[in-house]
Amino acid sequence: MNIPQTTALTVVENMPLGEIIKLIDWRMYLVTWDFRTEENRKSVEAEELLNDSRKLLNRVIEENLLSVDAVVRILPAATVDYDDIILYQDEKRDAIFQQLPMLRRQIPMLGQCPSLADFITPADSEATVPGVDDYMGFFAVTAGKKVEESIRIFPDHDLYSPLLLKSLADRLAEAGAEYIHKKVRREIWAYEKSDDLSVDEILKEKYQGIRPAPGYPCCPDHTGKRDIFNILEAEKTIGIELTESYMMQPAASVCGYIFASAKSRYFPVGKIGDDQLESYATRKNMSVDELRRWLSVNVND
DSSP assignments along 110-140, one per residue? TTB--BGGGGB-BTT-SSPPTT-BSEEEEEE
For the chain, residues with pLDDT lower than 70 are 1, 126-131, 194-195, 301
For 12-23, b/e burial (b = at least 16 CB within 10 A) is beebebeebbeb
Residue 131, pLDDT score: 65
The span from the CA of 13 to the CA of 27, in Å, is: 27
262 vs 2, 73, 131, 210, CA distance in Å?
Answer: 12, 20, 5, 9
DSSP string, 143-179: --TTHHHHHTTS-TT--HHHHHHHHHHHHHHHHHHHH
CB 109, CB 39: distance < 8 Å: no
Residue 300, pLDDT score: 76
How many separate helices (H) and strands (E) can be counted in the chain? 11, 8
Q: What does pTM read for this prediction?
A: 0.94
Question: Going from the N-terminus, what domains does the chain have, and what CATH number goes with each?
Answer: 1-270 (3.10.196.10), 271-301 (no CATH)
Residue 128, pLDDT score: 62
Q: What is the pLDDT of residues 108-152, one digit of tens each?
A: 988 999 999 999 999 987 656 666 789 999 999 999 999 999 999
Nearest alpha-carbon partner for 237 in 73, 65, 25, 66? 73
DSSP string, 188-201: IS-S-TT----HHH
Q: What is the pLDDT of residues 146-166, one digit of tens each?
A: 999 999 999 999 999 999 999
Sign of CA dihedral 74, 99, 276, 241: negative
Secondary structure (3-state) at 101: strand
Residue 127, pLDDT score: 59
Nearest alpha-carbon partner for 79 in 29, 26, 134? 134
Report which secondary-structure segment, H or E, holds 71. Answer: strand 69-80
CB 261, CB 209: distance < 8 Å: yes
The span from the CA of 195 to the CA of 202, in Å, is: 10
